[in-house]
Each structure stands twice: as C-alpha cells, then as structure tokens.
C-alpha cells in the first residue's frame, strides 16, 4: 500500500513537515509496512518557503536586508533541492520575510513610508548566486509602494523632476518623473519569475491596494486617498515611459493590487506571471509524480472550512488526486463553517483532531499528539475494510 501525505502547516503550531510526520506516525501503528511518501505543502502564503524546502530537500539562505522602515532586518529565502523542467535552480521567496508587517511595530505602521527594498535585495542575492527561476509569494506585506523599493534594489532608477532618487514609501510615488531600467539587474531578462497571488484586486480604486489593504497596514482614510492617487500617478508614468514593454492594461490586471501594488511592480519590471499559489507549489514539488500508483492521499490544514475550496492546499491536493482517481482524506485542527463544501468537490472524508473543548494554547501545544491519534484511528477504520471476511 502506498500512502501519500501532503498537508499544509497548522499555523502557530506545526510546520507542514511536522504535520506529515505526525500523520505518518499514527498510520504506522496500523499499517507499519505501507510505503509512505511525505510531501509538505503550502498555498503560496506563510510557510511556503519552509514547506517547499522540506518537500524537495533544499536549503535556507539567511540574509540581513533592508526592512520596511529602512532599517536592517533578518530575512531568508529557500533554494529547492531539485531543478525545474529546464534544469534551472529555483529560489522560493516570501515577500513577508523581508517586507512583512511583522517587521513593523504597531505604533509605527505607516504605508506612506514603508518600502519593499528588502524584497528586491533577496531577489538580487538569488540572481547573484546564478539562480534563474524565482517563485515569489505575495502577502503579509507592510508596504504600499507598488514594488518601487524592490525595483530600486534591482537597479531601476526612479527619479523626481529634479533627477533625485525617489525616497522610500508609497507617498513618494506621486513624485515620479523619470524611469530608467537600463541599469536593472542584467540577469532578470534570463530569469523565469512566477508570483503566487491569490487576490484579484486591481492597483487603484475602491477595490485597489490602498483601499482594501492599506488600513491593515496603518493607513487612515486620508492616507488611503493619498496612496491611491500616488499609485495612479506611478502607474501612468510607468506605462507612458515603458509602453513598449508593458502596456496600459497592467494597472487593471487582476492581482495588480496585491501586496500594496507589488503585483503591478513584478509584472512591469520583472515580466512575472501571476498564478494561484497552490498551482505553483503543486507543480514545483512535483506532487502529481509523487502520487503515481498511490492507494490513498492524506492532506489537511489548520482549519477546513468553506474557504478551503478557494485555492487552499487541501483543494489543490484534491485536484491532483482526482486526475489520478485516488481517494483523499482531509485532516484538520478543526472544522469551520461550510467545511462540507470540500466534500461536495470530491474529497472522501474530513476529520478534525481536537478531542475536547480546551483553551487555545493547550490545543496548539497538543497538535502533534492529537494528529497522531486521529491518524491512527482513521487507519484503524480503513483496516477494517481490508480484512478478509
């Protein structure tokens, strides 16, 4: 019997690999001789770097880069342990690692001044190491600068009417007068860049980066208006001056407003492709290949609910499993509202691991043993159907 275990992390509790290990431990109590294939998963959000590194036996690179407030922060990115289809090394970068909201104290959150420069430094470091395939996960950013800081870190010159470099922050975008991409990192043109993006917001307007995501980054209503106008000016100037390489549709492109407009920035300067995060991950870790000839796939996440079917890890794993007609079981920390939606999509069963109502800190600290016990019980029920009568 071959069993593939492909879960996401249980946030604030266990990494995806730790979840997979706990499930394997429980199943081995009933099926000790089964062949187990563990593939840690993620959907492009928090934990994606660690999951993909674990899944491919890659490694982490730690760096000190420029944080959102312009001060040094400790950041990291991963290098996958396997090459892609074109034999290139792949780096997996989470924008939040360098430009995330967690780097900014609550009292200092101000998207008028925060920068994505550190994200550009991570990309540049990967390029300098000869890596030519980059996966960039958006989300959790503290910025609203349309990736301007990232561009500057990669050598793009953004200047005002006096030919002075733009300062950091979203407010400074309103002063953009000239764009010079001639000094952009030369390896960009030879690089494949995929961006994990699971929102469809445009750059500006009532559903744009500033209006939807600005308040959680510290923007007041007046700041939202200022930032939105700055993004609009920035996009118009970029479009006018780089029209041969970008085109006027990018500000309206679904996902352009992701991560404070970083979606727009990576499309214009990096010629990146925006894709659902789970699709990028399943392809990069070669999940379909791992599932060949499997008898069962087990997946899961911290909470399975009605949102799980919209691009979360269990849904991505289910899609791969259905293509190969393999049964799938989901295990989660708990089941939320409308969790049955994933059953309607074809998942065979879902199980929560919490055995009793307990304080949250106790639930989180006991996730591993609860996972193992639940996996063991699921395996025991499966074994009943395999017994000869």
Count, in order, helices (H) and strands (E) of the chain: 14, 13
Tell me which of 246, 277, 308 is where a domain ends.
277
Instruction: For residues 206 and 226, state if they share a domain.
Output: yes
The packing angle between helices 48-56 and 277-284, to 10°, is 20
**Count of structural domains within the chain:** 2
pLDDT at 264 over 90: yes
State which of 277, 297, 317 marks the end of a domain: 277
Q: Which domain holds residue 177?
A: 48-277
Shared domain for 85 and 193, answered yes or no, is: yes
- H helices present in the chain, as ranges: 16-28, 48-56, 95-99, 117-128, 148-153, 209-213, 221-241, 258-269, 277-284, 287-290, 313-323, 341-344, 360-365, 367-386
What are the C-alpha distances in Å from 271 to residues 67, 127, 134, 172, 365? Answer: 24, 15, 12, 23, 43
**Number of neighbouring beta carbons within 10 Å of residue 14:** 20
What's the mean pLDDT in 54-82? 97
130 and 91 share a domain? yes
Q: So what's the pLDDT on residue 244?
A: 43
Q: Are residues 139 and 244 in the same domain?
A: yes
Question: pLDDT tens, 31-67?
Answer: 999 999 999 999 988 889 999 999 999 999 999 999 9
Predicted confidence (pLDDT) at residue 261 exceeds the cutoff of 60: yes
pLDDT digit string, tens, across residues 44-54: 888 899 999 99
> 94 and 180 share a domain?
yes
Rounded CA gap, 89 and 80, in Å?
Answer: 7
Q: Do 37 and 52 belong together in one domain? A: no
- Give yes or no: residues 82 and 187 share one domain: yes
Residue 84 confidence (pLDDT) above 70: yes
Co-location of 245 and 138 in the same domain: yes
Which of 101-105, 184-188, 251-255 has the least mean pLDDT?
251-255
Is this model's pTM higher than 0.85 or not? Answer: yes
Query: How far is it, in rounded angstroms, from Cα 209 to Cα 206?
Result: 9
Domain co-membership, 258 together with 319: no
Residues 270 and 290 in one domain: no
Q: What is the CATH number of the domain that holds 171?
A: 3.90.1510.10
- Asked if residue 130 and residue 26 are part of one domain, the reply reads no
Q: What is the CATH number of the domain that holds 13?
A: 3.40.50.10350
Give the model's confidence band at 356: pLDDT under 50 very low, under 70 low, under 90 confident, else very high: low
Name the domain boundary from 277, 309, 332. Answer: 277
Query: Percentage of residues in the chain with pLDDT exceeding 90?
Result: 81
Q: 149 and 230, same structural domain?
A: yes
pLDDT digits (tens, 9 = 90+) for 121-138: 999 999 999 999 999 999
């Amino acid at each position: 019997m071959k069993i593939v275990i492909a879960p996401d992390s249980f946030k604030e509790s266990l990494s995806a690999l730790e979840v997979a290990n706990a499930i394997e431990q429980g199943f081995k109590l009933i099926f000790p001789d089964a062949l187990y294939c563990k593939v840690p998963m993620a959907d492009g959000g928090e934990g994606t770097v660690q999951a993909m590194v674990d899944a491919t036996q890659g490694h982490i690179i730690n760096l000190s880069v420029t944080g959102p407030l312009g001060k040094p922060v400790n950041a990291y990115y991963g290098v996958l342990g396997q090459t892609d289809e074109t034999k290139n090394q792949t780096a997996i970068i989470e924008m939040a690692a360098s430009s995330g909201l967690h780097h900014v104290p609550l009292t200092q959150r101000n998207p008028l001044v925060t920068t994505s420069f550190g994200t550009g430094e991570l990309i540049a470091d990967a390029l300098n190491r000869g890596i030519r395939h980059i996966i960039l996960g958006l989300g959790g950013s503290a910025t609203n600068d349309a990736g301007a800081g990232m561009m500057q870190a990669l050598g793009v010159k953004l200047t005002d009417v006096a030919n002075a470099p733009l300062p950091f922050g979203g407010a400074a975008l309103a002063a953009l007068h000239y764009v010079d991409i001639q000094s952009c990192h030369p390896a960009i043109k030879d690089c494949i860049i995929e961006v994990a993006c699971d929102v469809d917001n445009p750059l500006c307007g009532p559903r744009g980066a500033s209006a939807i995501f600005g308040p959680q980054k510290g923007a007041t209503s007046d700041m939202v208006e200022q930032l939105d106008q700055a993004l609009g000016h920035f996009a118009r100037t970029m479009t006018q001056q780089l029209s041969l390489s970008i085109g006027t549709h990018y500000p309206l492109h679904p996902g352009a407003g992701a991560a404070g407009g970083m979606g727009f920035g990576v499309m214009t300067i990096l010629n990146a492709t925006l894709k659902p995060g789970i699709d990028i991950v399943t392809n990069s870790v070669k999940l379909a290949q791992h599932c060949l000839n499997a008898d069962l796939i087990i997946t899961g996440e911290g909470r399975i609910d009605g949102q799980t079917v919209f691009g979360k890890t269990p849904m991505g794993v289910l899609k791969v499993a259905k293509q190969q007609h393999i049964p799938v079981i989901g295990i989660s920390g708990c089941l939320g509202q409308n969790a049955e939606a994933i059953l309607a999509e074809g998942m065979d069963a879902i199980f929560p691991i919490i055995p009793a109502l307990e304080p949250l800190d106790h639930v989180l600290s006991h996730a591993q043993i609860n996972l193992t016990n639940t996996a063991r019980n699921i395996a025991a029920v499966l074994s009943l159907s395999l017994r000869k009568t």
